[in-house]
Amino acid sequence: MSDEEREKLRAFLTELRDLCGKYGYKIGGCGCCDSPWIVVGGDKPIDVGNLRADGQEASVWVRGEGEVTTNER
Ligand SMILES: [Zn+2]
């Protein structure tokens, strides 16, 4: 994943985190199949899985690269 794509993904996650906070919603998956997942990258699709979001943080897991999150660890 390019640095540009990673920054775009992080910007998306930041808005999603804040959207979940606004509505008090949480997004999570079953943990067995990378769900929920999103496809980023436009013409060069990249599947990213394990999307999690609540009003405090949003993150995904990029296969072979690791976590992308709105929060510093
Ligand atoms: Zn599953």
Summarised one tens digit per residue, pLDDT across range 1-59 is: 999 999 999 999 999 999 999 999 999 988 889 999 999 999 999 999 999 999 999 99
Cα of 34 from ligand 1 centre, angstroms: 7
Cα of 33 from ligand 1 centre, angstroms: 4
* CA 15 to centroid of chain Cα atoms: 10
Strand partners of residue 67: 61
Summarised one tens digit per residue, pLDDT across range 63-73 is: 899 999 999 87
Cα of 28 from ligand 1 centre, angstroms: 11
Contact 66, 31 (CB under 8 A): no
* Torsion angle of C-alpha atoms 13, 19, 25, 26, degrees rounded to 10: 0
pTM comes to 0.90
Cα of 8 from ligand 1 centre, angstroms: 26
Cα of 60 from ligand 1 centre, angstroms: 15
